[in-house]
Structure 1
Amino acid sequence: MNTPGTRKQHHNMSAPMILFQDTYCHVLNNETGEIELIEGPKRFILPATKTLIGDKRAKLVVKEGQYVEVLNPYNPETKQCVMGQIEIRRGPLILSLYPFERCEGLVKDAVLLGKNQYLFVKATEGDDAGVLHRVKGPALHFPNPNEEIVGTFDAINIGENEAVYIQNTDTSELKLVKGPTSYMLEVNEKEYNKELSAEECSAIDASSATSSRAYSINIQKNEIVAITDYRSNKEKYILGPVCHILEPHEGVRVVKISGGIPKVENAISIAKVNLGPDFMIDSFEVRTKDNAVLNMVISYKWKFLILNDDELYKVFHGDFIGYSCQSMRSRIREQASTHDFESFHTSSSTILRSALFKDYEFTNKNNNSKQVHYGRFFSEFNFLVFSLDVKQVKPVDSELALLLDESIKSSMKIMCKKLNDSAEFAAEKERIENETEVAKLRKSLIEIEIGNYKKEVIEKARIEGSRLLEEATAEASASGHQKRNKLKLELENMKNVIDMLQGPDGDVYIEYAKVKNLGRNVQSATFVPSDVKTLIIPPTTSQLSADLY
């Protein structure tokens, strides 16, 4: 903490004083009484009228994003320090304190707020003292001397199909903020922890631990949930598939139904009612006309018939399982009392279906169409049991049960023997049919092989005939070509003779032909043109020989 000193130091006027860049000092003017701030870098000589107060001081470095609180800040207009006040000085700066200024604490970092962060500050002075303000990120917050930081908070991240309950602290009004979002509370808001009863939490498979996170109900297809509005005291019905988030003033209607085998009342608490088709199993005793007590296990298939939206309330009217099972149980006992043991045990399913089920005709008010459904209808809930299956009919009397077991075993043996004989007969019949089929296939195979052989012979003959025909055709073609060439040559010779006869040598050739036709002893001939007057014929070789001898 830097304070102006009271010790005065006198310096010789001839001795210079040096202040570096990161130092400063306070000097008292002895004549006026003012204290001056001298900052380096500087070199000066202290005159006789001024006195150095204290030692040289190091300047305070405040970086970017930092601040320092200065008590008794100096006012440059009045040139005086405002005593008792605090001033926030932000970086970046190099701070030299005036006389009477003090640093309250060390250099501090400003509050850095991220994108999903915020803080509350409370005014400590002025007309709005005690009033809260919210500062949202991203931001770099420097505190005000007249403010107090209450706290820094992270935004509430709310995912898809999620929500948070928020309460207004001024009006106590509740609201639901749905995701996906990052929600920042207002200064007059807080998270509200909604509580459901343990029964409601169990019915919707939710945790019973209190939390500001909203209750969400995943309603599957063919499911329905009754939502109660506590403010208006009304109900609305939500059909799946949908994810419904409870409003702050909403709850769920819980229905208690019978469960177990045999059925026990109020065994199950549910909020999501399956509209079906579904099944239920009941077990009870009946007495036949001949006083045989039987234990029956029966499975029912059921569904709700929701033909009009204004009848949805009937689904939550009460214990539809217990009521329907009790009603069916009573009617089945009535039917059992009118039949003897053997007939009822043998044909119980057929007897009960024909006696309890019938056709019901319904009209849809929305489109005025008509529908017919077969079964047992309970109009109190719009509940239809449309199938009945007897799983077990067992005598309660052990001796009767033993006799029945023996009878069943005997019947089973007879049935098994009959089934075995039938199986053997069917196997033998199948074997004979297979052998017959194999013989037919063999015959077909032989016929196919014969046909293939015939085709092969015919194909060979066809190929051979084609070959011979091609050879004959080729030979005839060659012979015809030879004859055509010979004829062409003869025609060429005749054409040459004709051309010669028509020319100047034609007469000579005719004479030659005549001489050649006179006899075979003519060895040579000489042709004399008609216009020659004198002709000297040279002697032949034979004549010359005769003259020599």
Structure 2
Amino acid sequence: MSDIVGIGPNQFVHVLNVTTSITSLEIGPKTLVLQINELLTVGPLPCVVVPPGHYCIVKDPIRKYELGKPCQLRHGHFEVRFHKEPFALYPGESLVDAEDFTKSCAGKEKTYLPAIKTLPVVKAHHALLVMARVDHDDGGEQRKAGDTWHVEGPVTYKPTAEVEIVSVIKPHVINYGQALRIQAKQDFIDRNDVQRVTGEEWLVKKPGAYLPGVYEQIVQVLNSYTLTQEDALHLRATQKFTDALGIDRLAGEEWLLTCDQTESYIPDVGVKVLKEIKKTVLEKNEYCVVVNPVKDGHCMLGQQELREGITNFFLHPGEKLLQGIQKTFILMEDQALVVQAQDEFTDTSTSVMKKRHAGDRWLIRGPCTYVPPIQVKIIKKPDGSMVRSAIALRENEGIYIRHLQTGRVRAIMGPQSYLLQEYEELWQKELTPLLEDLLRHGGGQGGSNIRKMAYFESSIEPSLSGNKTRDKTKVVTYRCPGNTAVQVYNYEKKTARVVFGPNMVLLGPDENFNILSLSAGKPKKENALKTICLMLGPDFMSDSIEVETSDHARLRIFLAFNNHFEFTHGILEEELKIFSVPDFIGFACKQVGSRIRGVVAQTPFDTFHRYSAKIIREAIFGVDKKGKIGAKLKFDVNGLCVTNIDIQSIEPVDTHMRDSLMKSVQMAIEISTKSIEATAFHEARRIEQEARGLLERQKILNEQAAERSRNELYELKAVTAAVESTGQAKAEAQARAEKLLIEGRSEIEVARLKAHAEEIEANTELESLEETRAAELAYKSHQIELEVNKSRDLVDIEVSQFSEMINALGANTVAEIAKAGPQQQVDLLKGLGIESTLIMSGDSPLNLFNVAQGLVGNGLNN
């Protein structure tokens, strides 16, 4: 290391005297020659420059510095320094947040940048939260270590060594309709001189910027509730307090706040908003029942209150609507309500007051408007509706009604309009699934091939067609077809009655149809047809039976016989007699078949084949003493009569016999068929020859017409070729001339467009060049003008600075400087903050030596 150290202006070094162990500070500009016992420890380093509006903190500042003497450092202390002359750090001093210059001297110009801090500027409505490091006196106020307070703006805060900046406090803006909920961190007196205790909460509602205090904590920003004629608040007190209206509230108390008390409400501390309440509006013909109504500020638990429209109200805490808002019952002339008293009261709904007891049931008839009192319950119908309307019944239509007290069921028939009484209800008559299906199909059920199903088509009820369901409360009806009978049995009286068609059968509450199970088909099958009506006839039955002759020839006979019932109308015994045999069809077919089989079994095949009709008729109707065949066969058990027999066919049961008969029939048919085929063949040949002749003649006519058309075609081709050759030559000549004309015009147009394009390019280049020259000229002019303004401003600044400096020094100071020696002059001017280069420079306008001497000389001469 060299023993000569060059210290520049505003630089310093620390030199250690190893003999005395004292480190001294040397400040430039100078050239320092180190002695044998001296050692350079720090530097050269630039002096610390604090710009205006900045500060730095010096750690362990020196108490008093004397060159060559031991100095005392205030260890653990800090010193804040603001804008002034550049200063050097004495041995042992350091800047807070600065780099350790004893370890690295690289980038000396950046060594102190982290330590130079801008003075905190506290904006309006802002504050700095500061804390005392040590006990000190702050402008007459004693601060203890750890105390915190606010420095409110607008102000530029100058930090001190005893105070530490904790944070910047921003204000909270309270808008209209808002409030801040504040909580005290500890006991203190707020800015309104109100004593606050730890944990206490209060509201700040004044609009504007609010700066929370040191011991204040913002818990929540509350928005106000706007109360209108339609809105209210349901509030609950969480602690005991006095609200804004001066009312004492106990913890847990609930109340209603409406717009009549305040238009805008911010919940106080200790108040919880449970919910917003909408006004309940009852229009005309509306009512409601309020449970637990509030009267005189007290909730009447367990009680109810009836309120009718037109009105409106808010539900107080504890109140609720029973079944919501309900419509007033507007009863027409044919409507009524069944009501029941739940408690004893005096009924004033009618013109005559009447005392009602609990459990009483009565009918409210229309026309009227009815609002049920709270002691009355509306009895609902089974379908859930309340209003009973009169049931209109046409002729042959009725309903089943059951009396609730006696249990008796009766049928009400039309034509009339019937309104159920208070102890009456509609009764549903249940039928078996089979009977339900029979009624849906007109009274009969069976295969589609059964002929008797046509009887029931006219009796199908339109209301039950398809998959429609029968109304079980209506009287069961059945359209009994003509010439039929229906048996109805009454299970209560254990009697039966017969209804003859065409007629409408109406079932009483205890009546039901007698279902018949008849045989059907060929041969007859039991239970093939279910029906509720019996065909009286005249009708016919058809059946197929097998018989065997005396010579064991088995035959199948298809026959039909007419039948009808014979009885006397008006005599119940004879009318019921026709239903004594449930399956009268099977019974009659079996009786007729047994008679035929008995007679045929005694007759040979040849005889039966010749006289089959006579034998069968004699077997069925019998022969009197005179040998005459009887007219009818009557069954006394049910009055059924068979009057005529029709033998449809007789065929052998044996397959060989049936095949032989079939072959003979087929041979006869084949002979007849071949004769017809031969006749048809000859007729077809004749027609074919005539058609062939007509075809040849038409061909000749067509060829003649074709030759004529071909001749005309050749003539037209010749004419077309001549026209085509002439037209082609003319068209080529015209096309050639137009081509030359178009080419000439195109070349002229191209030349004109090229000239126009070159003219545009030349004009564009000229305009661009003019704009470039104009821009350059404007730029140069502006630059020269800026240089002139700069020079003028510099001259004005120098003149102003010199004048202000002279005015600041004063005549006496200048005179003293002139009288002092050169070294003292330099020191004095340095103390005034004037750089040594300006002082010593001979050509500088600030060479104050010459100026001072000149001023002094001029003053003396004057």
With the length of structure 1 as denominator, give the TM-score of the two structures: 0.54
Cα-to-partner distance string for 1:431-458 (whole Å, 9 max, x where unaligned): xxxxxxxxxxxxxxxxxxxxxxxxxxxx
**Aligned residues of 1:124 and 1:147 also touching (Cα < 8 A):** yes
Cα-to-partner distance string for 1:478-519 (whole Å, 9 max, x where unaligned): xxxxxxxxxxxxxxxxxxxxxxxxxxxxxxxxxxxxxxxxxx
In 1, the alpha carbon distance for the partners of 2:407 and 2:661 equals: 73
Matching residue's letter, 1:134 = L
State yes or no: 1:120 paired with 2:328.
no
Matching residue's letter, 1:133 = W
Tell me the equivalent position of 2:739: none
In 1, the alpha carbon distance for the partners of 2:362 and 2:413 equals: 24
State yes or no: 1:315 paired with 2:578.
yes
In 1, the alpha carbon distance for the partners of 2:592 and 2:320 equals: 90
In 2, the alpha carbon distance for the partners of 1:321 and 1:171 equals: 45
- SS of 2:578 mapped into structure 1: helix
Matching residue's letter, 1:269 = K
In structure 1, stretches of 5+ residues that fail to align are 11-22, 26-58, 75-81, 361-372, 421-549
Number of aligned pairs? Answer: 357
- SS of 2:411 mapped into structure 1: strand
Pairwise CA distance, 1:290: 2.6
**Aligned residues of 1:123 and 1:130 also touching (Cα < 8 A):** yes
The 5 Å alignment of 1:93-492 reads 109-114=327-332, 117-126=335-344, 128-151=357-380, 152-153=385-386, 154-155=388-389, 157=391, 159-160=393-394, 161-181=396-416, 183-205=418-440, 211-310=472-571, 311-318=574-581, 319-357=583-621, 374-407=631-664
In 2, the alpha carbon distance for the partners of 1:104 and 1:130 equals: 24
CA spacing shift, 1:24–1:237, aligned 2, 3 Å: same
Pairwise CA distance, 1:110: 1.6
Matching residue's letter, 1:120 = V
Pairwise CA distance, 1:155: 3.1
Name the Cα RMSD after superposition: 4.6
CA spacing shift, 1:156–1:390, aligned 2, 3 Å: farther
In 2, the alpha carbon distance for the partners of 1:204 and 1:359 equals: 45
- SS of 1:326 mapped into structure 2: helix
In 1, the alpha carbon distance for the partners of 2:595 and 2:484 equals: 30
Tell me the equivalent position of 2:77: none
Pairwise CA distance, 1:396: 1.2
Pairwise CA distance, 1:224: 0.5
**Aligned residues of 2:391 and 2:419 also touching (Cα < 8 A):** no
- SS of 1:374 mapped into structure 2: coil
- SS of 1:391 mapped into structure 2: strand
Tell me the equivalent position of 1:523: none
Tell me the equivalent position of 2:164: none
Cα-to-partner distance string for 1:260-280 (whole Å, 9 max, x where unaligned): 211123333322001011221
Pairwise CA distance, 1:333: 1.4
Matching residue's letter, 1:290 = D
- SS of 2:612 mapped into structure 1: helix
Pairwise CA distance, 1:257: 2.3
Cα-to-partner distance string for 1:410-444 (whole Å, 9 max, x where unaligned): 78899x99xx9xxxxxxxxxxxxxxxxxxxxxxxx
In 2, the alpha carbon distance for the partners of 1:385 and 1:7 equals: 108
In 1, the alpha carbon distance for the partners of 2:280 and 2:522 equals: 85
Matching residue's letter, 1:143 = P
- SS of 1:316 mapped into structure 2: coil
Pairwise CA distance, 1:285: 0.9
Matching residue's letter, 1:383 = L
Cα-to-partner distance string for 1:506-546 (whole Å, 9 max, x where unaligned): xxxxxxxxxxxxxxxxxxxxxxxxxxxxxxxxxxxxxxxxx
Cα-to-partner distance string for 1:170-195 (whole Å, 9 max, x where unaligned): 11111112345554433322222222
In 1, the alpha carbon distance for the partners of 2:528 and 2:325 equals: 69
Matching residue's letter, 1:111 = F
Pairwise CA distance, 1:293: 0.8
Tell me the equivalent position of 2:777: none
In 1, the alpha carbon distance for the partners of 2:294 and 2:623 equals: 97
- SS of 2:420 mapped into structure 1: coil
Tell me the equivalent position of 2:104: none
Pairwise CA distance, 1:222: 0.6
- SS of 1:321 mapped into structure 2: helix
In 1, the alpha carbon distance for the partners of 2:432 and 2:591 equals: 32
- SS of 1:276 mapped into structure 2: coil
State yes or no: 1:65 paired with 2:294.
no
- SS of 2:644 mapped into structure 1: strand
**Aligned residues of 1:194 and 1:210 also touching (Cα < 8 A):** no
**Aligned residues of 2:335 and 2:390 also touching (Cα < 8 A):** no
In structure 2, stretches of 5+ residues that fail to align are 1-231, 235-241, 247-258, 262-278, 345-355, 442-463, 625-629, 677-862
Matching residue's letter, 1:263 = K
Report which structure shows greater RCO (CA 8 Å, sep ≥6): 1
Matching residue's letter, 1:326 = K
CA spacing shift, 1:391–1:67, aligned 2, 3 Å: same
Tell me the equivalent position of 1:363: none
Cα-to-partner distance string for 1:284-338 (whole Å, 9 max, x where unaligned): 2111233211011111221111235431112111122112111111111122234
Pairwise CA distance, 1:24: 9.7
Pairwise CA distance, 1:89: 5.3
Matching residue's letter, 2:368 = A
In 1, the alpha carbon distance for the partners of 2:283 and 2:470 equals: 48
Matching residue's letter, 1:65 = N
Tell me the equivalent position of 1:448: none
Tell me the equivalent position of 1:514: none
**Aligned residues of 1:73 and 1:87 also touching (Cα < 8 A):** no
In 1, the alpha carbon distance for the partners of 2:478 and 2:664 equals: 54
CA spacing shift, 1:357–1:73, aligned 2, 3 Å: same
In 2, the alpha carbon distance for the partners of 1:413 and 1:383 equals: 48
Pairwise CA distance, 1:144: 0.9
**Aligned residues of 1:24 and 1:96 also touching (Cα < 8 A):** no
Pairwise CA distance, 1:239: 0.8
**Aligned residues of 1:375 and 1:386 also touching (Cα < 8 A):** yes
In 1, the alpha carbon distance for the partners of 2:245 and 2:667 equals: 132
Identity of aligned residues (%): 27
In 2, the alpha carbon distance for the partners of 1:173 and 1:251 equals: 17
With the length of structure 2 as denominator, give the TM-score of the two structures: 0.36
**Aligned residues of 1:158 and 1:164 also touching (Cα < 8 A):** no
In 1, the alpha carbon distance for the partners of 2:550 and 2:321 equals: 104
